[in-house]
């Protein structure tokens, strides 16, 4: 199949591009590399030394014999994205290309507006490009488990049957997102569902949990193929952060009581889930929703697992419950369904000793690249304006912001 990977230079998009290419698909990466600019804005860098896009695809061609084409450009630019879709005529479009950090969206008004503008308008352009140039194309869109929030009932996969005043219907599951970023994903989901209803488009919304790890069988094949690993307070996700904190002797930063439960998955499962969704497309007119995670953990559980794994490797890690910079439930019920990807054949990598060891070893290998000044959280959900080291303007300022 011919697959466009929007956001193919990012943390999930790069290993997915390699995985799909390795599986025999013709891959075209579309990216404006804004994530690399945001590293400059935040005065930080990936823990792992990533090479630029040109070197990455050249290295892949050398080790695999496969070509990955690259289109540099912005999804907000209609002329660009419509031209790319028209020329390539993809069978599937995998859409990762959004601003994905909840804290980034909470820095101040400009970052909130940037996030929602980038994500919602970029996604709308993709929908219109499919409708105009490739109406049979299957859209595989990355959503997030955080769209649902943490309700006091079981979370279903996208839809829930409701009985009200003696009548029943199957309706979209209620959404209670926890940041301007997570809200942008809800808006995307509504727009995609509407496009499926009015145009007969086919789409899969993958409500992904928090991803950890960095290595896949393809990225291991050459140092130039290494994937990014975010660890700082804005883009670093919790388990990756705990591993680098342990590696530099920084207390593990559990926010608040640490009873926050989330769905998690290994980056190797991310790439496999995308492959499963691409190779088993939704029906025309169907807005299909999968919950994409493999295990649930509380933040406290993860911190304790890292302390234990570090101890086995011979170094001491300790936990510090710091004031929670976010507004979120710290003790709550959580039980989310996740059967549809398993039914399609997903065989999860569960978080065990060997996986934690390998995460800690990566953190130790690159510990000299860790800047301790960007570890503690400084973006506060209650503030609504920047008061910390984060720079004043989003990476791609626009006159309208």
Contact residues: ligand USQ, CB under 6 A? 100-102, 144-146, 209-210, 237-238, 241, 253-255, 260, 262-263, 299, 326, 328
Question: How many residues touch ligand NAD (CB under 6 A)?
Answer: 26
Report if residue 112 touches ligand NAD, rule: CB under 6 A: no
Question: Sign of the CA dihedral 351, 352, 355, 360?
Answer: positive
| CA gap 371, 379 in Å, rounded | 17
Among this protein's residues, is 181 annotated catalytic? yes
At residue 4, the 3 state secondary structure works out as strand
315 contacts 367 by C-beta, under 8 angstroms: no
| CA gap 127, 139 in Å, rounded | 8
Stated as kind and residue range, the H or E segment containing 171 is strand 167-172
Which residue of this chain has its Cβ atom nearest to ligand USQ in the complex?
146
Catalytic residue among 16, 48, 144, 294: 144
Residues 193-212 that bind ligand NAD (CB under 6 A): 208, 210-211
Catalytic residue among 11, 181, 212, 231: 181
Among this protein's residues, is 185 annotated catalytic? yes
DSSP symbols for 233-286: TTT--HHHHHHHHHHTTPPEEEETTSB-EEEEEEHHHHHHHHHHHHHSPPPTT-
Among this protein's residues, is 392 annotated catalytic? no
Work out which of 5, 22, 44, 96 binds ligand NAD, going by CB under 6 A. Answer: 96
Work out which of 21, 32, 115, 150 binds ligand NAD, going by CB under 6 A. Answer: 32
Q: How far is the CB of 208 from ligand NAD (least distance, A)?
A: 4
Q: How far is the CB of 195 from ligand USQ (least distance, A)?
A: 21
| CA gap 401, 396 in Å, rounded | 10
Q: Pick what 102 binds: ligand NAD, ligand USQ, none; C-beta below 5 to 8 Å, kind-dependent.
A: ligand USQ
Q: How far is the CB of 135 from ligand USQ (least distance, A)?
A: 29
Taking the least distance from each CB to ligand NAD, the nearer of 146 and 325 is 146
69 contacts 58 by C-beta, under 8 angstroms: no
At residue 319, the 3 state secondary structure works out as strand
Give me the residue label for tokens 């990455």. 56
Catalytic residue numbers read: 144, 181, 185
User: Where on the chain is the footprint of ligand NAD (CB under 6 A)?
Assistant: 7, 9-13, 31-35, 74-76, 96-98, 100, 118, 122, 142, 144, 208, 210-211, 237
């Amino acid at each position: 199949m011919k697959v466009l990977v929007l956001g193919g230079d990012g943390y999930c998009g790069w290993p997915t591009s390699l995985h799909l290419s390795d599986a025999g698909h013709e891959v075209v990466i579309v990216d404006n590399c804004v994530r690399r600019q945001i590293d400059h804005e935040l005065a930080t860098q990936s823990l792992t030394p990533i090479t630029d896009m040109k070197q990455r695809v050249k290295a892949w061609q050398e080790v695999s014999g496969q070509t990955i084409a690259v289109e540099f450009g912005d999804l907000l630019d209609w002329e660009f994205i419509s031209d790319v879709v028209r020329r390539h005529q993809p069978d599937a479009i995998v859409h990762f290309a959004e601003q994905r950090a909840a804290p980034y969206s909470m820095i101040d008004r400009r970052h909130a507006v940037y996030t929602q503008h980038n994500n919602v308008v970029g996604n709308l352009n993709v929908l219109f490009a499919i409708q105009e140039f490739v109406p049979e194309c299957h859209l595989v869109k990355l959503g997030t488990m955080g769209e649902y929030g943490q309700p006091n009932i079981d979370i279903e996969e996208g839809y829930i049957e409701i009985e009200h005043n003696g009548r029943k219907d199957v309706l979209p599951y209620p959404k209670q997102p926890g940041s301007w970023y997570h809200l942008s994903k809800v808006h995307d989901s509504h727009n995609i569902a509407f496009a499926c209803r009015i145009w007969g488009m086919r789409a899969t919304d993958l409500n992904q949990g928090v991803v950890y790890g960095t290595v896949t069988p393809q990225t291991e094949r050459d140092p130039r193929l290494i994937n990014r690993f975010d660890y700082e307070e804005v883009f670093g996700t919790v388990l990756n952060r705990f591993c680098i904190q342990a590696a530099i002797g920084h207390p593990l930063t559990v926010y608040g009581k640490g009873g926050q439960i989330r769905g998690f998955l290994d980056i190797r499962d991310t790439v496999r889930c995308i492959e499963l969704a691409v190779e088993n497309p939704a029906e025309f007119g169907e807005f299909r929703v999968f919950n994409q995670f493999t295990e649930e953990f509380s933040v406290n559980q993860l911190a304790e697992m890292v302390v234990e794994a570090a101890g086995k490797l011979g170094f001491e890690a300790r936990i510090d419950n710091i004031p929670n910079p976010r507004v979120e439930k710290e003790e709550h019920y959580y039980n989310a369904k996740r059967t549809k990807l398993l039914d399609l054949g997903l065989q999860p990598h569960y978080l065990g000793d060997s996986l934690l060891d390998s995460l800690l070893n990566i953190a130790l290998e690159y510990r000299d690249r860790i800047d301790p000044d960007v570890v503690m959280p400084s973006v506060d959900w209650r503030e609504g304006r920047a008061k910390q080291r984060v720079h004043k303007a989003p990476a791609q300022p626009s006159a309208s912001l």
